[in-house]
Amino acid sequence: MESLGINYRAIGPELVLTVTGVLVMLLEAFSPGKKVRDGILAAAGIVLAGVAALALWEEGPVTAFSRMVIVDGFRVFFTLVILLGTLLTIFVSWGFLDEERIPPGEYFALLLFGAVGMTLLVAGNDLMILFLALETITIATYVLAGYRREDLRSTESALKYFLLGAFSSAFLLYGIALLYGATRTTNLAEMARVVSGPLGQAEIVLLMAGAAMLLIGFGFKVTTVPFHVWTPDVYEGAPTPVTAFLSTAPKAAGFAAFLRVFSLTFPPLGIESAADQLASHWVAAVTAMSILSMTFGNFIAIAQTNIKRMLAYSSIAHAGYVLIGVLARDWAAVAFYMLVYTIMNLGCFAIVALWARRGDERVLIAEYAGLGFRQPLLSFPLAIFLVSLAGFPGTAGFVAKFWLFKSAWGAGFPELVIIGVLMTVVSVYYYLYVVIVMFFREPKEEVPRVPLSRAFVAAMVVALVGVFYLGLLPTRVFAVLNTAQNLLAIGQR
Amino acid sequence: MLMKAPMMLFLQTDPIYGYLPIVVLLFLAALFPALVLGIGRLLRPMKPEAPKLSPYECGVDPILDARERFSVRYYIIAMLFLIFDVETVFLFPWAVIYDKLALFGLIEMAIFLGLLIVGYYYAWRKGALEWT
């Protein structure tokens, strides 16, 4: 079976996650309700998958399974980001599962199956694999969004997510079909080769239409304006730990696929070619999406009174920043940004989830009044994560934005950098507003302290260490990413 | 003949015109039912009466609207049926080239069936088959 390129090592992380997911699901069927056992098993599976991913680090750019799966630094790094996001989500969900009396086994299994889809999306070197992986992600996350069955908001969130997700999947699939019509292949490497030469008039039209459809589909998945409308409603209605998950890991995976298809397969080559014709259009479209996401996301976030909605608009704004990196075609900068964003956003949501209590009752920003000095173990980390999201120097958020803007400036997008910096200033307003409410407003009535679980403390420690390590000593991670980027560039040549 | 030659050349140079038959088929597919129904409408005698216009001319009179709420169990049963359906779809091609795939194919199929059985067993344990 050598001819099929079957190489189980190349899908090691996915295999480990799948097996763990099935095991957790079966254990839930055998003896339900054992949260600690299922949670530890799921976390162990994720760690093991991380080890399997790290083992691929030295492999360099190679493909497997009839060139459908690719192994390179890009894939390994994004896989690690996704696994970190999933692991932190398990920690964040720990208290929530008890409060809501949710069967834990299924919840963990769905998280793992979602993670399988995400890691596969990152590893995909073929549009069919990308589509399959996206469907795996979305089916798991639809169920997670509606996990509080009796809650009307949660059900609404799941339904909206499902309808718009299915709608955007249709766009993606149609786009894939048109691209296949234009290039007669779904393999991305092969497609890159075909579009590096000239194509017939009809093929160019198909190529443009297909790429536009893909852009719409990906735009939905990574929540960029004007395809963002579902985001605040879904993020608000879904249980908070699930929102934390939705806003980080699937987004990192979505951006990885976005990069793989647009930045690496259809790059502007600077020579007479189909790719160049296409690139002039997609660069313009993505520029518009980026500017719109940054401005709309940040300005609408100011008007929010619900912290989950505020963070949803903030995530739209951050998607706008990341699109600058997609335009600059600097995947390492995007990967670093997604790592940082995953850490700080999950940290934020961990506290929001804890403070919201059973049934997501306490989610208004005004209800954070007086949290500051009454429970400093909640308020100080939240302040740090918000400040990091705003991009203050000393935190990881600053370094990530700096790298992104620097590479965009070098790649010839100064106007985007200027807008990005201005919008960052706007975002400071609504991030710091929460901090002000926490520390300088008195609550209307005295609120009892919230007990902290060990899993929550673990999540806090990981996230805080991450924010400061990447904010103060990012050089090691930079070096690792730059090496991977150089290897990939050589492999493509 | 003179008109035809450039046309044929055109068809050959751009492979996209290979899809032309599909467009033709699309039109034919739309045309055919319209034609058949239209001709039938013009030719047939029209004598409507009450029993003829009821949904089931020969049979029990309908008592309720069909748009009712069904128990969710029907859907679960349908989905469980899908497990076996998909299984068969993949078992047939495997069986046809069983000798070529040899041990590798056997193991792959065992994994595939194993995953389906896990799903089925899970649903069973969770009480999807109990109709109460």
Q: Which residues of B touch A29 (CB under 8 A)?
A: 121-122, 125-126
Of the candidate ranges A259-263, A290-294, A317-321, the one whose mean pLDDT is the lowest: A259-263
Q: Which residues of A touch B15 (CB under 8 A)?
A: 200
- Contact A463/A92 with Cβ under 8 angstroms? no
Q: Which residues pair with A306 in a beta bridge?
A: A364
pTM comes to: 0.89
The residue in chain A having the minimum alpha-carbon distance to the alpha carbon of residue B125 is: A29
* Banded model confidence at residue A286, pLDDT cuts 50, 70, 90: very high
- The minimal CB distance from B104 to the residues A1, A22, A202 is found for A1
More confident residue, A7 or B13: A7
Q: What is the pLDDT of residues A360-411, one digit of tens each?
A: 778 888 888 888 888 888 999 999 999 999 999 999 999 999 999 999 999 9
Chain centre to alpha carbon of residue A74: 15
Any B CB within 8 A of A177 CB: no
Predicted confidence (pLDDT) at residue A39 exceeds the cutoff of 50: yes
Q: How far apart are CA A276 and CA A282, in angstroms?
A: 10
Tokens of A168: 């955007």
The interface predicted TM-score (ipTM) is 0.77
Q: How far apart are CA A244 and CA A91, in angstroms?
A: 11
Predicted confidence (pLDDT) at residue B2 exceeds the cutoff of 50: no
Contact A202 B122 (CB under 8 A): no
Q: For chain A, which residues make up each domain, given as ranges? A: 2-492
Q: How far apart are CA B12 and CA A295, in angstroms?
A: 50
* Structural domains of chain B ordered from first start: 14-125 (1.20.58)
Whether the upstream peptide bond of residue A268 has omega within 30° of 0, thus cis, is no
* Banded model confidence at residue A317, pLDDT cuts 50, 70, 90: very high
Q: How far apart are CA A32 and CA A335, in angstroms?
A: 38
Hey, how many other C-beta atoms are within 10 angstroms of the C-beta on A493? Answer: 5
DSSP helix/strand/coil, A308: helix
* Banded model confidence at residue B19, pLDDT cuts 50, 70, 90: confident
Distance from the A344 Cα atom to the nearest Cα atom in chain B, whole angstroms: 36
